[in-house]
Chain A
Amino acid sequence: MANRKLLGLFQEPQQVADAMNELKGSGIPAEDLDIYSGSPFPEGAFGEHEPHHRLYMFPLVGALIGFSLGLLYTAGTQIAYPLVTGGKPLLSIPPMTIIMYENTMLGAIIATVLGVLFESRLPKRSLGLYDERITEGYIGIVVDAPEEKADEAEKLMKAAGAEEVKHES
């Protein structure tokens, strides 16, 4: 059975919390409910499913790659072309530290930007089921419900105070 997407638009956060309770009570899993808003709400404010992301892994991996490349470049080149100057150690640690630090940072920046894009599922060509009032302060509940539950979900959202319920065309 195909799913149908609905977007309920609310003006008050309390209405959203009430609607979320009703929708979950009707048997729609929390994973099939999403909230669209123009600013973030404290986690769990609507009893919503908490999405997990792995953004923190991206800078970590990027930093490790950058650090490794920096180490490889600085230590590798000095070992490959050993020029001992004045009896000093072959590896010049202080400048190596700066270069490795910079490479670590560059790796972390690039990886985090990629991570933001990947984890936020951006860029999106089409906004899909969306309403411009959301960036004005309205709050949207997106329901991805089986066909037989979609009408009930629409009724529940309207009963909770939705100003409008939009359907995916």
Chain B
Amino acid sequence: MAEAAHEMRPIPTHQEVALDVLARFQDLGARYWGWVTVLGFLFVLGIVGFVIRLSAGFDDRSIWGYHVATMSFIVTTFLAMPMISAGLRLTKANWRRPLTRVTENMSITGLLVVLMLLPALAALPPLEGRRNIWFDFPLGAPGVWNVLGFGNLALMGLALLWVLALPDLAAARDHLPPSARQRFIAWASLGWVGHLRQWRVLYAASLVFGGGYLIAYPLVQSLLFADFHAGLMPGLKDAIGPARAVVHGVQGALAMTIVVMYVMRRLGGYERYFSVEQFWALSKPLLAFSLFWFYFWWASFLTFWYGRLPGETDLIRFLVLNSYLGPFIVSLVLNFIVPLVALIWSPVRRSAWGPAFVSAGILVGTFVNEVRIYVSAFSIEDPTLHALDGIPPGQWPEAPDVLIAIGGIAGCVLLFMLVSKIVPVISMWEVGEGLRLTKIRRYLNRQVRVIAKSH
């Protein structure tokens, strides 16, 4: 009885995985198009909201706050996901293999972010007379250098995705029936055949692009925080703000990865690839970064709390205790308290539903927190002051803001779904490599999984 409980499922072969993934990849059924249609409709609604805002121009900066908050939410969740792939690959975590492609495919959302950045930059006031990181540097600041910074991240993500997808594009090229889609995939595979040299180069490129993504991401969060928050907030002196934003990004990336895996497991039939092992493993750093979330906020808050200058107490009232108290409480509960209370329990971590439930809350909390940070900053009328002139009220969303938020998020999911029919959503080569490095062996009275180190 006890022995049977420790019996393990036989390990599938590379061929079984490849055929299974390619069969799902090939399928473009009514369900897929149904989802694409719904997401496309929501995305169009977002464009409508954006056009309404655009028609009002950029003179009233406050109407662009929710647009920037939505953009920042995407940067903090969807666009942060390739960091998971890069980090786990650098640490050679074997359990990463089924989930890395999901995170890499999300790098496509970088294109949407770059597009959303352009009106956000247009809404920024001139640099003259207000604090900024550009120190009156005249050539293109802040617009050109924000676009270059965000563009670099998008480019790096797409390069990471493309390089790591080459072997699977080749597999799709070889096995899809002839069609326009197959021809496009064949073109994108560039004639990959998988010889020794190509594998060595791919491995090296994954390190370069992965490492590059990890160092490009903090710059983007720093630019976001500096130009769209700190530079608009009179009296704000928050040295760890950008670092805090990066911590939020890692937490958001972990949460979004878990939620996407859960949805694919429940709705897409991917239980075989997203097992409890992946949820369990990701829930540990999720708990750690939830603790960091609070630690970084606390460290920043203390400066203002003990500083007690009039401008600082006004800022605390504005961002935490008064105008944005509601969003702050929601964020504190969903980004810190719930993850802490739930994920300290091993049975919760060691399940698919537990981390998914907590992660869904984290995503809601993250959006609300981005609203608190960026909508508040955009609602300040005169950013050239040295301290807040009174405490502005919180700004509730209007209909176009809601449309932009829904459309932005739907647009990201839509892009993911579209790109996942060009690049298989499970990395066949990486899973195949892992399967070959895994053996089931008997150890005393039970079976154990033995995983070899590949490098």
A128 and B193 contact, CB distance less than 8 A: yes
B436 partner residues in chain A, CB cutoff 8 A: 13, 39, 41
Is B337 located at the chain interface by the 8 A CB criterion?
A: no
B41 at the interface (CB under 8 A from A): no
Nearest B residue to A34 by beta-carbon distance?
Answer: B195
How many A residues, CB 8 Å from partner? Answer: 60
Judging by beta carbons under 8 Å apart, are B136 and A137 in contact?
A: no
Q: Is the CB of B399 closer than 8 A to any CB of chain A?
A: no
- Please judge, given known A-B contacts A39-B430, A109-B152, whether A134 and B193 are in contact too, CB under 8 Å: yes
**Closest chain A CB from B104 CB (angstroms):** 15
Residue-wise, chain B 7-36 has the 8 Å CB interface mask toward A (1 for contact) of 000000111001100000000000000000
In whole angstroms, what is the CA distance A137 to B16 when docked? 9
Residue numbers in A under 8 Å from B152 (CB-CB): 102, 105-106, 109
Does A119 sit at the interface, judged by CB under 8 A?
yes
- Interface code B193-218, partner A: CB below 8 Å = 1, 0 otherwise? 11111111111110011001001100
Contacts of B133 in A (CB 8 A): 94-95, 98
Decide if A51 touches B197 in the complex (CB within 8 Å): yes
Residue numbers in B under 8 Å from A41 (CB-CB): 433, 436
Chain A residues 12 to 50 lying within 8 A of chain B, measured CB to CB, are 13, 34-43, 48-50
**Contact status of A38 and B195, CB under 8 A, knowing A53-B200, A102-B219, A135-B175:** no
Shortest beta-carbon distance, A111 to chain B, in Å?
10
- B174 to A132, Cβ gap below 8 A? yes
Q: Given that A53-B201, A102-B145 are contacting pairs, would A37 and B194 also be in contact in the complex, using a CB cutoff of 8 Å?
A: yes
A3 on the interface (CB 8 Å rule)? no
Which residues of B are found within 8 Å of A143, using beta-carbon distances?
none
B452, closest chain A residue (CB): A42
Say yes or no: A39 contacts B433, CB within 8 Å: yes
- For residue B133, give the distance in angstroms from its CB to the closest CB of chain A: 6
Q: Which residues of A contact B192 (CB under 8 A)?
A: 120, 122, 124
A-binding segment of B55-63, B163-171, B321-329, B406-414: B163-171
CB distance from A72 to the nearest CB of B (A): 12
User: Could you tell me the distance between the alpha carbons of A88 and B435 in the complex, rounded to whole angstroms?
Assistant: 61
Is B149 within 8 A of A102, CB to CB? yes
Interface residues of B (CB under 8 A from A): 13-15, 18-19, 133-137, 139, 141, 145, 148-149, 152, 155-156, 159, 163, 167, 170-171, 174-175, 190-205, 208-209, 212, 215-216, 219, 223, 428-430, 432-433, 436-437, 452, 454-455
19 inter-chain pairs at a CB distance below 8 angstroms, sorted by A residue, are: A38-B194, A38-B429, A39-B433, A39-B436, A48-B196, A53-B197, A55-B201, A59-B208, A77-B139, A85-B136, A96-B137, A99-B148, A102-B219, A105-B216, A108-B208, A122-B192, A135-B175, A135-B194, A142-B195
The 10 A-B residue pairs with the shortest CB-CB distance in the complex, in nearest-first order: A124-B191, A137-B14, A135-B171, A123-B190, A39-B432, A132-B174, A137-B15, A95-B137, A51-B197, A39-B429
Known contacts A50-B200, A55-B201; 15 further A-B pairs (Cβ under 8 A): A39-B430, A53-B201, A74-B139, A95-B137, A99-B148, A102-B152, A112-B212, A115-B205, A120-B192, A124-B190, A127-B191, A137-B13, A137-B14, A137-B18, A137-B432
